[in-house]
């Protein structure tokens, strides 16, 4: 049995470790950008609660690796931390559950989305049962789980979870509560993904306004909302507005987090897509190619976020008529995304339509028609007849039928 003094010392170590991770992994909810003593000062924060406890040292190591963008290495170390803390405290201890939620986030960053979702869901359920649905930590973890559901393409579930959280948090506190704003942003994104574009835009308009008032226009969480709103504008046929917004967001991310940061690169990919939406294919190709190369350096080839980049690069190369180069990008990306997420995953269906266009332009018209028809049937079944992806696939089929 541990002595009371030992328990007190361990409690202090755990509290310090939890503060370090909570600050870093949720800094977008807590700090204003541009304050070097608040954001990006890993060495200063990592010195908090320095202890001879070897697991605390591993937690600091995992945090440092995370901040360097070395997600696979951070995941391996934090996996050991989870096991060590579970042996030390018990698998149901709140600190163990919180560390496991952080580990789930790293699994998602490593592209291991199915594992991440299962672990995040288990932790969210356990912490909610232990502390109640109104516990702030449990709500943050449920928000993280909703985000992973969205990455998996399980948009209806993500919409339901984020809506329930937004309503519950708003009922318990002011609408400017950080959790309420983040839940509303996630819900707006889920509305977009399930095809309710007008509602998504209205919700994004409101959350961008509120986040700007609370955090400022260049705060990371505001920038994420602004980027999401711009994507909705693209799908609403307003790519010029989207491009202007994304250019500003991209500049802010590059200045605040660096050109090689995953957030910056993800917005650069969106920016390239907005350029493509205006028919500016050569500019779009350069932006998408650079973003995809940067994302590959961060995540490694084979990561879903990188594969999306290759799929969009192949699409714009097809737009340009550069079919030999497109052949090296689009078909394999669709194959790999289908393998990882499923061929009928909503995030894959659009690219199956783009692949049909590539096949048409390469002269394989019957194969193109068959590929498009299969994608269209799946999209109508999974997303509905009125979803923007289904409509895009229908437009592609119309062009193929006219041949």
The number of CA neighbours under 13 Å toward the Cβ of 145 is 28
Query: What is the structure's pLDDT at 180?
Result: 86
Which tokens in the block code for residue 381? 């079944």
Task: Give the integer Cα–Cα distance in Å for 155 and 195.
Answer: 10
- CA 178 from centroid of its chain's CA atoms: 18
Question: Count of alpha carbons within 13 Å of 323, Cβ hemisphere only?
Answer: 11
Give CA–CA dist 108/127, Å, rounded: 20
Structure tokens at 80: 């050991």
CA atoms within 13 A on the CB side of 231: 19
Q: Cα(first)–Cα(last) distance of the chain, in Å?
A: 79
d(C-alpha 96, C-alpha 314), whole Å: 43
Cα distance between residue 61 and residue 68, in whole Å: 11
Residue whose token pair is 């835009």: 201
Angle 254-110-33 from CA coordinates, rounded to 5°: 30
Q: Give residues with Cβ within 8 angstroms of 165, minimum separation 6.
A: 139, 142, 143, 146, 179, 183, 186
Where the chain has pLDDT below 50, the residues are 1-6, 21-50
CA distance 119 to 3: 33
In 53-187, which ranges are E strands?
none
Q: What is the DSSP letter of 40?
A: S
Q: What per-residue confidence (pLDDT) applies to 309?
A: 98
Instruction: Please calculate the CA angle 260-261-266 and round it to the nearest 5 degrees.
Output: 100
Task: Let me know if 47 is exposed, middle or buried by CB neighbors in 10 A (0-12, 13-18, 19+).
Answer: exposed
- Give me the pLDDT at residue 39, please: 28
Other Cβ atoms less than 10 A from the Cβ of 105: the count is 25
């Amino acid at each position: 049995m541990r002595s009371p003094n030992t328990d007190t010392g361990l409690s202090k170590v755990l509290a310090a470790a939890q503060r370090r991770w909570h600050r870093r992994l949720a800094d977008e909810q807590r700090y204003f950008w541009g304050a070097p003593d608040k954001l990006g000062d890993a060495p200063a924060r990592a010195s908090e609660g320095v202890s001879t406890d070897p697991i605390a040292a591993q937690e600091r190591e995992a945090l440092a690796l995370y901040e360097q963008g070395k997600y696979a290495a951070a995941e391996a170390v934090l996996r050991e931390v989870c096991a060590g803390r579970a042996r030390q405290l018990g698998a149901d201890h709140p600190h163990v559950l919180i560390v496991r939620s952080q580990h789930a986030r790293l699994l998602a960053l490593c592209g291991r989305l199915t594992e991440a979702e299962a672990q995040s869901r288990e932790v969210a359920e356990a912490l909610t049962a232990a502390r109640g649905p109104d516990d702030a930590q449990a709500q943050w973890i449920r928000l993280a789980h909703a985000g992973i559901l969205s990455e998996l393409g399980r948009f209806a579930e993500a919409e339901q979870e984020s809506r329930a959280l937004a309503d519950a948090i708003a009922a318990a506190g002011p609408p400017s509560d950080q959790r309420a704003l983040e839940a509303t942003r996630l819900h707006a994104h889920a509305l977009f993904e399930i095809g309710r574009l007008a509602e998504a835009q209205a919700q994004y308009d409101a959350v961008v306004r509120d986040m700007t008032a609370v955090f400022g226009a260049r705060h990371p969480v505001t920038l994420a909302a602004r980027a999401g709103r711009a994507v909705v504008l693209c799908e609403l046929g307003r790519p010029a507005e989207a491009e202007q917004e994304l250019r500003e967001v991209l500049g802010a991310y590059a200045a605040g987090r660096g050109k090689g940061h995953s957030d910056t690169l993800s917005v650069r990919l969106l920016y390239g897509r907005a350029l493509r939406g205006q028919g500016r294919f050569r500019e779009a190709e350069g932006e998408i190619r650079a973003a995809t190369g940067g994302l590959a350096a961060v995540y490694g080839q084979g990561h879903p976020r990188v594969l999306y980049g290759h799929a969009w690069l192949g699409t714009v190369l097809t737009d340009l008529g550069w079919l030999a180069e497109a052949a090296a990008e689009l078909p394999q990306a669709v194959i790999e995304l289908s393998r990882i997420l499923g061929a009928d995953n909503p995030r894959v269906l659009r690219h199956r339509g783009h692949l049909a266009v590539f096949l048409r332009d390469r002269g394989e018209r019957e194969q193109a028609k068959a590929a498009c028809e299969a994608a269209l049937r799946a999209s109508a079944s999974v997303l509905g007849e009125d979803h923007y992806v289904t409509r895009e696939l229908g437009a592609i089929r119309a062009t193929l039928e006219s041949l």
